[in-house]
Structure 1
């Protein structure tokens, strides 16, 4: 099982912003041997949040090996061609280290960011599907026809990064089965995981595609290292490929070192 961490660029608690040094956090995550660092994404959220593309470009610039990931890019919040240009450029400047998580947006943040961007909040699911259908062609530099019939080619092309679709519901699993190589689920109940993976497998079979690999984000782990390692061993036994841990507060250094200790305990 791979372990990644969310960069200190946002927080679920508006009263306690977690806005740390992106350069230092990315360097530390690589130094302690973690697999990947991830940035959240929103225009206007319920708490302070840095821009994800700039954050990941910064993380890429100060590291050499570690994966850099969107957790998750809201494709429907952007024109798809512009998103593809950003993705392809990040692939180029990072040396093909990008991991592209895609989501439709947590309704808890409301629709104000969508209204500010001039994008229809109620159509975000359909627009995400349309974007995912053309994204590989746009990123790779192939001639691609957009949903409105316009044919474009973006250059230079880049290697299409691993695409992971996020969301805990069946619509997200269907979207992952249809378009992605991975499915991201937020803090699932362990007893629900086998049924969800079985559903994901069945959906992938409908599309004639391999079952997407499963990534769990922000699981609620015990504070005790052996207990937390046992928790993740259970995840691994269920077929979870990757776990992404979120900062628990401003002391992200402590959280990253704990993640590294967990990684060592799982080897």
Structure 2
């Protein structure tokens, strides 16, 4: 199993100094990747925990790529309907190029209606917009000068799409049938929010469908919070990791919640890597 770590790009922990320190600690500890979350327009009644302070996920990934050397940098998950497809593809290609192809792109359709409203995006079209955005990504990353694109929602003429690095691994977020359909059509991984006791059957079904369609089995990513405060909680955390692996998870993202500072973050990840990781 591979291990990632979520770093807060929201709230008081999202200062440049704290993000820098946490990113370097995660790289030194041996995590496979760092992940950030995506919100753009938090409504006033949803600011508990962040105070309304939220750094743009793509800009934060680019920043962290520049201060690290080996660790991969990803988003868990980027809300596709919030952004225009071509500009987003260009930003992704740029980050991928400048980071030495270290980006991991988790994507989702979103859920927070006030955020859609603030951005002028139609929440009822989020699935269709996400599908067509993924079609655009496939189209643009396929050639240096891809042809014109004429979808029902997005159209553009042929243009040079350079630089054109290897497309980042694409992880599809979501629990339902639409999400697993996107995994089989577009994705390299599935990033559901299902608990371990409900994950196994869904993973087995998805892997079967992948084999039948001639696709490689997808990475299965889970993101969980774990308590690491004492010996008893460490034993519970290790048992949870084993359960996630037995349910089919191949990639575990540790979410430490609202750690107060980089010292607490560093102590927690050292504890996880030395006493919980399997």
TM-score range, shorter-chain basis? 0.7 to 0.9
Distance 1:113 1:144 in 2: 33
Query: TM-score, structure 2 length as denominator?
Result: 0.84
CA displacement 1:73-95 (0-9 Å, x = unmatched)? 11221111001000000001111
Provide runs of 4+ in structure 1 moved above 4 Å.
219-223
Aligned to 2:19: 22
CA displacement 1:49-88 (0-9 Å, x = unmatched)? 2101111111111100111001111122111100100000
CA, structure 1 residues 198+137, in 2 after alignment: closer, same or farther (shift >3 Å)?
Answer: same
Structure 1 residue 245: deviation in Å?
Answer: 1.6
Contact 1:8–1:252 under 8 Å retained in 2: no
Structure 1 residue 149: deviation in Å?
Answer: 4.4
CA, structure 1 residues 236+139, in 2 after alignment: closer, same or farther (shift >3 Å)?
Answer: same
CA, structure 1 residues 129+208, in 2 after alignment: closer, same or farther (shift >3 Å)?
Answer: farther
Contact 1:32–1:257 under 8 Å retained in 2: no
CA, structure 1 residues 195+220, in 2 after alignment: closer, same or farther (shift >3 Å)?
Answer: farther
Query: TM-score, structure 1 length as denominator?
Result: 0.87
Structure 1 residue 145: deviation in Å?
Answer: 3.6
Aligned to 2:127: 125
Aligned to 2:9: 9
Partner residue of 1:57 out of 62, 80, 101: 62
Q: Which has the larger radius of gyration?
A: 2
Aligned to 2:256: 247
- How many residues were matched structurally? 258
RMSD of aligned Cα (Å): 2.2
Unaligned runs of 5+ in 2: none
Unaligned runs of 5+ in 1: 12-16
CA, structure 1 residues 206+80, in 2 after alignment: closer, same or farther (shift >3 Å)?
Answer: farther
Structure 1 residue 251: deviation in Å?
Answer: 2.4
SS of the aligned residue for 2:242 comes to helix
Select between 222-231 and 129-138 the one with higher mean Cα deviation. Answer: 222-231
Select between 199-208 and 47-56 the one with higher mean Cα deviation. Answer: 199-208
Select between 133-142 and 87-96 the one with higher mean Cα deviation. Answer: 133-142
Aligned to 1:217: 223
SS of the aligned residue for 2:104 comes to strand
Aligned to 1:238: 247
Structure 1 residue 206: deviation in Å?
Answer: 5.8
Contact 1:174–1:203 under 8 Å retained in 2: no
